[in-house]
Amino acid sequence: MADRYNVLFLCTGNSARSIMAEGLLNHRGNGRFSAFSAGSHPTGQPRPEALRQLESAGINTTGLRSKSWDEFSGPAAPHLDFVFTVCDNAAREECPFWPGQPMTANWGIADPAAVKGTPDEIAQAFRDAFVVLDRRIGLFMSLPLATLQEMAIKQKIDEIGRS
């Protein structure tokens, strides 16, 4: 494996969970990771609650945008080492061909954007999703990727998705 890894987080709308995951990994990755996010049917704009959650954790949100996964399937796309779906809908969809055959795993998380309720209940749903993503990204970053064999890495990233 490489010294620097490109990671793509996928969701249907690319407005909440995948956006938060992109921001988290880029912030915490210490130069070892370049994170991206995309959606099969992007909404065109990140949810303000997702951006607020990142900002409240001291994470810069400049440049985060909702985009199609088509940006990552063509010849000009960055080489991807890992692709994680963070919602069950995207995990069930037929994904594009990812050049280089990156490792994939489903890290499904309840959709905070689907929560209906008071502003406090909605904010709590975004906090809950953020906490799960933060924990999973921390576990992922702690893996000795350079020394593990591919099958062991695949097993570990699948386990993280079940945590």
* All structural domains of the chain: 5-156 (3.40.50.2300)
Strand runs labelled E in 74-136 = 82-85, 103-106
Query: CA nearest 102: which of 74, 86, 81, 77?
Result: 81
Is-catalytic flag, 87? yes
Of 38, 83, 87, 153, which residue is the catalytic one?
A: 87
For the chain, residues with pLDDT lower than 70 are 1, 88-97
Of 7, 8, 10, 11, which residue is the catalytic one?
A: 11
Is-catalytic flag, 95? yes
- Using DSSP, how many helices (H) and how many strands (E) does the chain show? 5, 4
The pTM (predicted TM-score) of the whole model is: 0.92
| pLDDT score, position 6 | 96
- Which residue in the block uniquely carries the two structure tokens 């990140």? 46
The proportion of the chain whose per-residue pLDDT surpasses 70, expressed as a percent, equals 93
| pLDDT score, position 92 | 60
